[in-house]
Amino acid sequence: MMLVCSYLSLILRVEILKITSISSTEKSGVSHNPKIKKHVLVANGEIENITNFSEAIFPPGETAYAHTHRDMTEIFFIKSGNGTISVNERAILLDEGMCVTVEPNEVHEIINTGVTDMIVMCIGIKT
């Protein structure tokens, strides 16, 4: 009996490794502007409290229009390019390497103000 319990304990502790890449995911439009395309690397429900982890590609001049999330914090990392994020009507210039956290209920909008694509890594966390 002890051997069976030990074996079951080992089975329950096995973790499932998931590996994804930009090249292995389909592009889809973001809900705030379908001209902005994203690669979802971790989808809602795959990891507890994570609503998504994705790479979004903002063409020059495109905007993820102003919106809020009542139950989610979002973190944006600017992988390349530049633009502006407005949070509660406060504009912040975005440059490559910057990271911005937007809390629940904060009105936010992101605009690519540059001449090249702005690539943004996004993670949503349920609050």
Structural domains counted in the chain: 1
Residue 99 β-bridge partners:
77
Nearest of 5, 41, 11, 8 to residue 23 by alpha carbon: 41
Q: Which domain holds residue 38?
A: 2-126
pLDDT at 4 over 60: no
Report the half-sphere exposure of 74 (CA within 13 A, side-chain side). Answer: 22
**Residue 53: CATH number of its domain:** 2.60.120.10
Average pLDDT over residues 67-81: 97
This prediction's pTM: 0.85
- What percent of the chain shows pLDDT beyond 70? 88
Torsion angle in degrees (nearest 10) through CA of 61, 66, 70, 73: 30
Alpha helices in 1-127 (DSSP H): 2-13
Instruction: Quick: pLDDT tens for 6-60.
Output: 444 445 555 678 888 999 899 999 988 999 999 999 999 999 999 999 999 999 9
